Chain A
């Protein structure tokens, strides 16, 4: 469902040399486009940092680091997100390998299933976890009896985050592996490589850019996940509040500068993600273009 793929569009290769639109139309449209991007994207981003830093950098630092609950939120996000990313990366590689290298009955259904979390509101994801592991849920009472807490605790946050970001790595890898084809892997097998040797020496180096991109995207979404996490967190300050939840709580408490301070960290992360994405996309395209050239020549 999200359409920005590593192999998607190619900036710079427009091939439209002959614009027949008159210059004034062109510049009018360009100005409008820049205005739209500025109003919708650039000014809000600038505003985040402006509000966060309005009272100087020292205040900003205090707002971020002196509040124990904010510190805990940062810590919690940093511990929840990697688990979700690792799980979804393992899944992404496995499912991409299965659907791009083999034909089997149910393959199309499997691919459609990967997209499913995109169609489910994060809030509903939270609800599902409550239904399974909440106090009133199916397995909740049993787990509580054993002293295992999932909802309103760390495992619930991990589950919610993992579910919502499930498709990202797979979605990036499938087109990349499709485009690369199975030739090199078959060659490795013919030269005597076993499965792991083939994977580590041939597959992984070839997909590394797409994989990295998927991981970065998955990471960004995991850090920013709000709806599902909010439902299962129970909103216990200093215990189950991740950074986005902390932003909301501070906002509700009219602590706007503090709220913006946390938000600015998340915004910075989003910007880093964009930069990484732009760089990786460029490289992936070059790699794929090279692959295409080889195909074309042969």
Chain B
């Protein structure tokens, strides 16, 4: 193929620009990261990434992200279902608003969520007297992460729901299946891969989230410090090398998730179209 002249112009230019840009912006920084970590002996590395403080941070980050992702899958299924299958007034308006968490700066989300849930805030006024404290707690982290991740599940599920033909349900109904049987046996299985994708996307996004969380969390070491906050505080010390070691652990988690997502998208492609 290499002897084949390309008919459309701009192959070298566009590929050159793309590769140069990606090298400068992505490859070089990642290599620099690796170089920084390689300064550490294995023992030092372990010392940096496996202390009581980091373990607590991993725990807080993973649990809050996991809960947020689970909640988003449930809420996302509800929203996607309603937005695809039903007609109601202002549907397009509500549909558009689902994307707001993509567009709203995370700092704003953190700010407003924190002030909604304080004792005299609009939500806090109701919740705090009931003994539910959200602001300055790990529950607050979950709540804000639910907001950040909301669009992922909805936007992953919508196209799959749309591509499902009504005749499948009708076929199932004609064979005597009742509503709940149709839902659990006919509708949900094709949605499962998309739900997993949505879950992973939300989870991955939540793992790295920083801006909104620092507003609403107490950010206390050993209790409510998430990994990004830990990294920032180590950068400020400055303990760059140790911060990089922790960052590498996070990167590794994210890459695994990214690969899982790609695999899931490839699988769910079987159902959409």
List residues of chain A with CB under 8 Å of any chain B CB. Answer: 1-4, 8-21, 26, 29-30, 32-34, 36-37, 40-45, 47-48, 51, 87, 90-91, 93-95, 97-99, 101-104, 110, 112-132, 134, 136-138, 162-163, 166, 182, 185-186, 189, 194-195, 198-199, 217, 220-221, 223-227, 230-231, 243-245, 247-248, 251, 256, 259-260, 263, 266-267, 269-271, 273-275, 277-278
B201 touches A110 (CB 8 A): no
Instruction: Give a binary string over B198-221; 1 marks a CB under 8 Å from any A CB, 0 the rest.
Output: 100100110111110011000000
How far, in angstroms, from A170 to B14 measured CA to CA in the complex? 12
A19 touches B14 (CB 8 A): no
Query: Which residues of the other chain, A, contact B7 by a CB distance below 8 angstroms?
Result: 186, 189
Q: List 26 A-B contacts (CB under 8 A).
A: A2-B102, A18-B166, A40-B146, A47-B112, A101-B11, A114-B22, A116-B258, A119-B258, A124-B251, A126-B235, A127-B244, A131-B244, A132-B32, A138-B32, A185-B8, A195-B9, A217-B102, A220-B103, A224-B107, A226-B210, A244-B106, A245-B107, A247-B105, A248-B215, A269-B103, A270-B104
B100 touches A16 (CB 8 A): no
| Interface of B, helix, strand, loop or mixed by DSSP | helix
Let me know if B108 is at the binding interface, CB within 8 A: yes
Docked complex: B1-36 residues within 8 A CB-CB of A: 1, 6-11, 13-15, 17-19, 21-22, 25-26, 28-30, 32-33, 35-36
Which interface residue of B7, B146, B182, B255 has the most chain A CB atoms within 10 A?
B7
Rounded to whole Å, the gap between the CB of B78 and the closest CB of chain A is 6
How far, in angstroms, from A90 to B22 measured CA to CA in the complex? 12
Query: Which residues of the other chain, A, contact B210 by a CB distance below 8 angstroms?
Result: 121-123, 226-227, 230
Of B43-51, B52-60, B129-137, B152-160, the one touching chain A: B152-160
B166 touches A94 (CB 8 A): no
Given contacts A30-B88, A270-B100, contact A95 B14 (CB under 8 A): yes
Given contacts A162-B25, A266-B104, contact A4 B78 (CB under 8 A): no
Rounded to whole Å, the gap between the CB of A30 and the closest CB of chain B is 5
Query: Which residues of the other chain, B, contact A199 by a CB distance below 8 angstroms?
Result: 10
How far, in angstroms, from A86 to B87 measured CA to CA in the complex? 40
B155 touches A3 (CB 8 A): yes
Rounded to whole Å, the gap between the CB of A226 and the closest CB of chain B is 3
Let me know if B179 is at the binding interface, CB within 8 A: yes
> Chain B: which residue is nearest A102 at the CB level?
B11
Partner of B86, one of A29, A117, A186, A220: A29
Rounded to whole Å, the gap between the CB of A141 and the closest CB of chain B is 14
B166 touches A124 (CB 8 A): no
A124 touches B103 (CB 8 A): no
Query: Which residues of the other chain, A, contact B88 by a CB distance below 8 angstroms?
Result: 30
Using A26-B86, A121-B209 as known contacts, list a sample of 9 further A-B pairs with CB atoms less than 8 Å apart, ordered by residue number in A.
A13-B162, A32-B82, A34-B94, A119-B208, A195-B10, A220-B102, A224-B104, A231-B232, A278-B96
Let me know if B62 is at the binding interface, CB within 8 A: no
How far, in angstroms, from A45 to B15 measured CA to CA in the complex? 42
